[in-house]
Amino acid sequence: MPGSVYAYIWHVSRRGQIVLSILSLVIIPLATVPLELQRRIVDDAIGGGSLNLLLALGVAYLLAMIAQGGLKYAVNVYRGKVGECVIRDLREMVYRCTFFVAGDKGKKGAKPPADADKGTVVAMVSAEVEGLGGFVGEGISFPLLQGGTMAAILGYMIWIEPLIAALGIALYLPQIVLVPWLQGIINRHSKKRAELVREMGDFILEKGALAPFDSPLPKPYDGLIGGVYGLRIKIYKVKNFLKFLNNFLTRMGPLGVLLVGGWLVIEGHTQLGTIVAFISGLEKIGEPSRELLGFYRRVSDARVKYNLLVNTFPPMPASPAAAPSTA
């Protein structure tokens, strides 16, 4: 397998990633269309008292939303298909690697490598490959779409009113500093948790059947349960603090626009439609920023799972049967 998770993504799904990236690039410019139409509706149609223009702009707004929603639906469905294809192939690969021994491949009675215990294999097939395969579907197109949408909206806002746009950008600067640091903490906890879950599976398969039903839990297994619980609680605390920070800054955006934008309107430096478009724009930025925050966590989690998967098995020659399919 390739050395990094992104090299693996490109190796197993390059055609699907190209299709998803093209669709994402088509969707990105559509994010600014509703903002401009809102501004035109308030300033030109309502401000100018033109009912015909109001209806025309309303229809255009509706069509833009349908086009954007339909393309996003297509991207999400195709992204899911790419991920499921990889999950299927990963499960096949885990099975083949488990019964592969260098110099004894294909012989009847071959045993799995010593470091790939049964509990580890069960954990990999049931959960770990699912998380990794699901990430493959979104690994390239998701940040392209969400980051491109944010860039397009911010570019539009800078073009309309640079001062208010600068305020909106400043609100997201704390995340740039805090998110990588906090995510590093989550990564360390996630890696340790995955290792403990594998140990739990190994312990159950090796010794679980030897204990009477009504006997106390063995101390090693009880310790593993407590360790996983403690790590999960720590992860929840950091994740929810990141959500709190993002939600707080997102809610601060409209307040800043109303105060600064209201002052500019009162002074005659901008129009009311600009303020309406900016409030809507900040709301639209809030969604991709939250999605990118979640994606950053998933990238780190996928890297942990991929490294665990690669390090579990020895290198195995590629074969037609084990070759991953592309979506």
DSSP assignment letter at 317: -
Sorted by where each starts, the structural domains of the chain and their CATH numbers stand as 5-322 (1.20.1560.10)
Centroid of chain to Cα 211: 42
> What pLDDT sits at residue 25?
93
- The Cα 126–Cα 129 span in angstroms is 7
Q: Kindly report each contact of residues 53-60 with a partner whose C-beta sits within 8 Å and lies 24 or more positions away, as own/partner.
A: none
> Model confidence over 141-165: pLDDT tens digits?
889 998 898 889 888 888 888 887 7
> What pLDDT sits at residue 99?
58
Average pLDDT in the 205-215 region? 61
Q: Which range has highest mean pLDDT (66-80, 178-192, 221-235, 268-282)?
A: 66-80
Question: Model's pTM, two decimal places?
Answer: 0.67
- The Cα 20–Cα 79 span in angstroms is 7
Q: At residue 253, does pLDDT exceed 80?
A: no
Token look-up 């950008």 returns 169
- The Cα 315–Cα 1 span in angstroms is 8
- The Cα 201–Cα 195 span in angstroms is 10
Average pLDDT in the 265-276 region? 80
Average pLDDT in the 106-122 region? 50
